[in-house]
């Protein structure tokens, strides 16, 4: 929908809301001027009328559905099919009093007070009254009652809720009866595209305004003017008092008006519903609020629907024509469609419409549709069967592969069992002998390594003792080493030290499998000791005789030689 059309509808809605609000305020002011001493405030009734507690209508109960406490009246045998009655505006469960008495013989009847009405909970938020939420109230009510399916009989706003329930949960519905009502899509389309319906629904625009509609309903005799019909005693003043009892309470009109405020829309999308559910749509010939355009829209939206007109009836059908008498269903000469029918009664009987839901389930169209559904299901089952066959073949191939694998394993096991036992024992003994030989050789190697370590420690100990002795002797003879004999002695000592160093180096090289860290420590010790000896020799030369010593061959301990670990 384009923006220009939406803006146009928005402007029209606001203009009509303003015009109707001003007109209503003018009407209220005019009535006040005419009767200035009249008490216009609704008279609150403390005691409920006796008819509301009449046991013939059923038992009053409460239930928590969709997080809202709902009040309802129950009658009939709970083992029989469930039939739920949903009232409209401005009503409550009492508008179904005749049907509760009539159908409790064959059905388990539940007449509810929708949220915001009667003794049910009244949420304050306007968004709490949107149609999907109201439909969910009914769905959860059916669950809480322990049922999966039900028959719904509805009127006015109850019809809008029932149609939305049918759209959302068709699988839970055995039959639907809509009296003096329509679907929300059909109503919204007619409101914007049909001048007649827009004039008949003038109050819808007024209800968008806050406070004003509540004030109008409280200061006018809405129930007397809308429900009392001359010549029809089915609604009397005592019944009107029952309605006034609940709607005279403080703020009682605001939640019902919020139904209109929450679901007012500027655009609508009509979706065709082809579910084959028994659906009876009935209007009174004297209907004042719903035009012919709604009937046409309902035919477009619902493929399977039986449309009926009730002669000599207005908007409140279930209260105007409740008695069961002789009736006859015939085609009307003035019908605009083969789906539209007219109910002609010797004495108008509206209860017939409720039982008509079971007739519709045996129509030719239903049989054809059931046959199509069955064919579709057979095709689905055939596809599933093919898929199952393919899976079975795959599983069979896997089983064959597993069987072949098992046969090979069994062959190998059999061959292993046929192997000579003596050969296995001999093989085990050979492996045991080899293990013992390895263990014995390992022990010998460890013992040799320990002997080598002890020998090396002994050599190092002797070397340290000899070195200390030579140093001490050098210190003693140091000051007297002034002649050639002493010089020769020092030279011999240096040669012996060098020889010992060579011997130690060879000994270290022989330890190919020794501890690397210990060898490196020994290597560093030798370097330190040799450095000390060299310093002693230098001191001896510096403080000894002035006679020069003969040159001494420099036999280092090869401290710069290759690493000991590399021997």
| pLDDT tens, position by position, 402-413 | 888 888 888 777
Mean predicted lDDT score pLDDT of the chain = 79
| pLDDT at position 66 over 70 | yes
3-state secondary structure of 61: strand
Mean pLDDT of 457-466: 82
Strand partners, 284: 310
- The HSE-up count of residue 468 (CA atoms within 13 Å, CB side) is 6
Looking at residue 538, its pLDDT comes to: 67
Query: Is 426 or 185 the better-scoring residue by pLDDT?
Result: 185
Query: Is 474 or 125 the better-scoring residue by pLDDT?
Result: 125
CB 561 within 8 A of CB 530: no
| pLDDT at position 396 over 80 | yes
Among 90-94, 469-473, 522-526, the least confident range = 522-526
Looking at residue 517, its pLDDT comes to: 61
Mean pLDDT of 307-318: 86
Looking at residue 459, its pLDDT comes to: 83
Choose, from 165, 260, 463, 505, the residue flagged as catalytic. 260
Q: Exposure of 117 by Cβ count < 10 A (0-12 exposed, 13-18 middle, 19+ buried)?
A: buried
| pLDDT at position 369 over 70 | no
Percent of the chain with pLDDT over 90: 39
Specify the pTM. Answer: 0.60
| pLDDT at position 249 over 80 | yes
Mean pLDDT of 132-142: 96
Q: In angstroms, rounded to a whole number, what is the distance separating the alpha carbons of residues 15 and 243? A: 33
DSSP H stretches of helix in 248-363:
254-263, 292-301, 317-320, 351-355, 357-360
Looking at residue 214, its pLDDT comes to: 92
| pLDDT at position 329 over 50 | no
Looking at residue 362, its pLDDT comes to: 43
Looking at residue 507, its pLDDT comes to: 62
Choose, from 113, 137, 156, 189, the residue flagged as catalytic. 156
Among 58-67, 131-140, 511-520, the least confident range = 511-520
- The HSE-up count of residue 534 (CA atoms within 13 Å, CB side) is 12
Terminal alpha carbon distance of the chain: 99
Choose, from 315, 505, 511, 523, the residue flagged as catalytic. 315
The verdict on whether omega for the bond into residue 90 sits within 30 degrees of 0, i.e. cis, is yes
In order of 130, 468, 496, 536, 542, the CA distances from 475 in angstroms are 118, 11, 17, 9, 14
Query: Is 366 or 30 the better-scoring residue by pLDDT?
Result: 30
> Is 515 marked active-site?
no
Looking at residue 332, its pLDDT comes to: 27
Among 67-76, 384-393, 417-426, the least confident range = 417-426
Looking at residue 410, its pLDDT comes to: 81
Q: In angstroms, rounded to a whole number, what is the distance separating the alpha carbons of residues 48 and 244? A: 10
| pLDDT at position 350 over 50 | no
Mean pLDDT of 244-260: 93
Give the dihedral sign, CA 16/19/25/28: negative
> Is 60 marked active-site?
no
Among 242-246, 359-363, 507-511, the least confident range = 359-363
Q: DSSP letter at 358?
A: H
Looking at residue 68, its pLDDT comes to: 96
By C-alpha distance, which of 232, 238, 259, 206 is closest to 90?
259
Q: Give Cα 339 to chain centroid, integer Å.
A: 43
Looking at residue 2, its pLDDT comes to: 80
* Token output for 2: 């384009």
Looking at residue 300, its pLDDT comes to: 92
Looking at residue 397, its pLDDT comes to: 86
Identify which of 68-72, 244-248, 310-314, 431-435 has the greatest average pLDDT. 68-72
Percent of the chain with pLDDT over 70: 75
Looking at residue 480, its pLDDT comes to: 52
Q: In angstroms, rounded to a whole number, what is the distance separating the alpha carbons of residues 418 and 397? A: 32
In order of 20, 126, 127, 259, 479, the CA distances from 17 in angstroms are 5, 18, 20, 16, 136
> Is 156 marked active-site?
yes
435: pLDDT confidence band, cut at 50, 70 and 90? confident
């Amino acid at each position: 929908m384009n923006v220009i059309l939406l803006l146009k509808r928005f402007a029209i809605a606001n203009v009509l809301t303003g015009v109707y609000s001003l007109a209503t305020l003018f009407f209220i002011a005019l009535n006040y001027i005419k009767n200035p001493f009249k008490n216009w405030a609704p008279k609150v009734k403390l005691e409920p009328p006796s008819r509301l507690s009449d046991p013939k209508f059923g038992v009053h109960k409460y239930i928590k559905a969709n997080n809202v406490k709902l009040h309802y009246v129950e009658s009939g045998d709970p083992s029989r099919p469930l039939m739920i009655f949903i009232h409209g505006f401005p009503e409550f469960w009492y508008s179904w009093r005749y049907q509760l008495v009539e159908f409790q013989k064959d059905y388990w009847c539940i007449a509810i007070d929708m949220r915001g009405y009667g003794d049910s909970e009244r949420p304050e938020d306007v968004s709490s009254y949107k149609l999907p939420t109201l439909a969910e109230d009914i769905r959860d009510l059916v669950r809480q009652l322990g049922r999966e399916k039900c028959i719904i009989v509805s009127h006015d706003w109850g019809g809008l809720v029932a149609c939305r329930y049918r759209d959302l949960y068709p699988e839970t519905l055995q039959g639907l009866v809509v009296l003096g009502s329509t679907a929300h899509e059909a109503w919204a389309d007619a409101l914007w595209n049909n001048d007649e319906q827009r004039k008949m629904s003038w109050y819808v625009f007024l209800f968008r305004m806050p406070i004003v509609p509540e004030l109008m309903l409280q200061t006018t005799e809405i129930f007397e003017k809308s429900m009392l019909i001359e010549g029809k005693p089915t609604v009397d003043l005592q019944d009107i008092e029952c309605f006034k009892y609940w709607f005279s309470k403080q703020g009682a009109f605001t939640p019902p008006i919020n139904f209109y405020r929450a679901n007012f829309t500027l655009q609508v999308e009509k979706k065709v519903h082809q579910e084959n559910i028994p659906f009876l749509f009935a209007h009174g010939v004297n209907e004042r609020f719903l035009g012919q355009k709604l009937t046409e829209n309902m035919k477009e939206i619902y493929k399977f629907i039986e449309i009926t007109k009730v002669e000599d009836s207005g908007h409140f059908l279930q209260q105007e024509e409740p008695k069961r008498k002789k009736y006859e269903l015939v085609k009307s000469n003035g019908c605009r469609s083969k789906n539209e029918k007219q109910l002609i009664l010797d004495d108008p009987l509206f209860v017939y419409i409720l039982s008509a839901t079971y007739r519709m389930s045996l129509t030719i169209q239903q049989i054809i549709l059931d046959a199509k559904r069955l064919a579709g299901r057979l095709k689905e089952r055939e596809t599933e069967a093919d898929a199952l066959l393919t899976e079975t073949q795959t599983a069979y191939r896997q089983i064959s592969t597993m069987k072949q694998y098992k046969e090979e394993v069994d062959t190998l096991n059999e061959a292993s069992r046929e192997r000579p036992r003596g050969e296995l024992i001999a093989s085990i003994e050979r492996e045991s002998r080899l293990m013992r030989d390895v263990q014995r050789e390992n022990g010998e190697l460890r013992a040799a390594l320990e002997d080598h370590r002890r020998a090396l420690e002994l050599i190092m100990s002797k070397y340290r003792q000899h070195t200390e002795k030579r140093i001490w002797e050098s210190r003693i003879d140091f000051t007297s080493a002034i002649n050639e004999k002493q010089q020769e002695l020092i030279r011999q000592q240096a040669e012996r030290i060098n020889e010992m160093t060579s011997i130690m180096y060879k000994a270290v090289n022989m330890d190919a499998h020794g501890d690397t860290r210990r060898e490196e420590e020994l290597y560093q010790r030798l370097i330190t000791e040799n450095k000390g000896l060299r310093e002693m020799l230098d001191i001896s030369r510096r403080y000894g005789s002035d006679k020069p010593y003969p040159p001494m061959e420099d036999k280092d301990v090869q401290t710069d030689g290759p690493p000991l670990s590399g021997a």
